[in-house]
Amino acid sequence: MIPYACQTITQTDIDAVTDVLKSDFLTQGPQVPRFEACVAHRVAGQYAIAVNSATSALHIACLALELGAGDWLWTTPITFVASANCAVYCGAQVDFVDIDPDTFNMSVTALRIKLVNAEKSGKLPKIVIPVHMAGQSCDMRAIYALSEKYGFRIIEDASHAIGGQYEGAMIGSCRHSDITIFSFHPVKIITTAEGGMAVTNQPDLAQRMRLYRNHGITRDAAAMTQPPDGNWYYQQIALGYNYRMTELQAALGISQMQRLEEYVARRHQLADRYDALFKDVPLKTPFRSPASYSAFHLYIIRLDSGPGYSRETVFDHLCAAGIGVNVHYIPVHTQPYYARLGSAAGYDAQSFPEANRYYQQAISLPMYAALSDVQQDDVVEALKQVLL
């Protein structure tokens, strides 16, 4: 079975983790700050806050930006549910912005129209979460310009995009956002098993995210309501969570980070090979924006039904041939949980037609650094069998 995504674990990774097991700290030791410094440096952001998942990173990012009841958060319907759930955790309401049919990212045109209408009805969003789908950056320059005009904050969901660039700057440099979050789930570009990171250039946001990661507890006397009782003293000054990353995960992350560039380069090689091998096959290969250097987390093709096949039969044929394809994603607004919230939020299943159309046609093909050319050829052959 060739999976659609798969981690790569080397002996160096294993040694890094076992070293931690033999050390004094399994949690709250030196590895997490080292991993944070490593990621901050690599993505050219000022502050990095490691957490136990990207979902937690999204949650503390929303909390740091003071999202709460009565607020709106907008994201794209073509994302993992976590990009929307973080708003609901904070008691806020969620709405969606349709996608651009080429990039599968949030459409700037749709965003602009929606903002004009929201301004009239007094329902402007407090936060917008663009998702860099498949690793290719959204049009951040345009989204940032709209944030200046309409006063919303931006969290980049870069779960797919560590190692990618936009307009020559690393994704994570937060040039056009308040916070960027990354995921280290095993299917993503690098892994810590479970794990995530929030990156920001704003010290107050960094401080608040650290607080929310650790129960809302501080040991910083300057943040306390009274002088410390003694050296044991800490105060809980907000309601936070235990979202800490372990030392084992951080050590694995540091080790994996050494190969980030290599992994993204290999993903590009594979993407170029897919593009070339599909030259005369009736399917749409991924569009590449000239402003973006994608991390190529996913290689998503779109196909129309043809003589004797549909997306469903192609999907089933590939699975039967031992090829682990996937669909990213089922539009979030059609998930029963969000469908229930839709009548209050003003959307229904027919809203966001580009996202719905995309969902009928998309298939994610195997894409990961350890995928061999021979395996990739097998994927292409299996597809040709049914499409040609």
Ligand X SMILES: *Cc1c(COP(=O)(O)O)cnc(C)c1O
| Residues marked as catalytic | 188
Nearer to ligand X, 17 or 131 (CB): 131
Compute the distance between CA of residue 171 and CA of residue 180 in angstroms, rounded to an integer.
8
Phi, psi of 75 (to 5 degrees): -145, -170
CB of 17 to ligand X, least distance (A): 18
Determine contact, residues 265/129, Cβ cutoff 8 Å.
Answer: no
At residue 151's C-alpha, the angle toward residues 148 and 155, to 5°, is 85
CB of 378 to ligand X, least distance (A): 26
CB of 377 to ligand X, least distance (A): 27
CB of 99 to ligand X, least distance (A): 13
CB of 324 to ligand X, least distance (A): 17
Compute the distance between CA of residue 240 and CA of residue 238 in angstroms, rounded to an integer.
6
Nearer to ligand X, 139 or 382 (CB): 139
CA nearest neighbour of 72 among 343, 345, 350: 345
Compute the distance between CA of residue 349 and CA of residue 334 in angstroms, rounded to an integer.
6
Rg (CA), the chain: 21
CB of 104 to ligand X, least distance (A): 11
Spell out a b/e string for 19-57, using b for 16 or more CB atoms within 10 Å of the CB, else e.
ebeeeeeeeebebbebbbebbbebbbbebbbbbbbbbbb
SS3 of residue 166 by DSSP: strand
Nearer to ligand X, 57 or 314 (CB): 57
- DSSP annotation string for 315-345: HHHHHHTTB--B-S---GGGSHHHHHHHHHH
Nearer to ligand X, 245 or 383 (CB): 245
Beta bridge partners of 196: 51, 183
Nearer to ligand X, 180 or 218 (CB): 180
Applying CB under 6 A, the residues found at the interface with ligand X are 53-55, 79-80, 82-83, 131, 157, 159-160, 183, 185, 196
**Residue 17, H or E segment:** helix 11-21
Nearer to ligand X, 131 or 271 (CB): 131
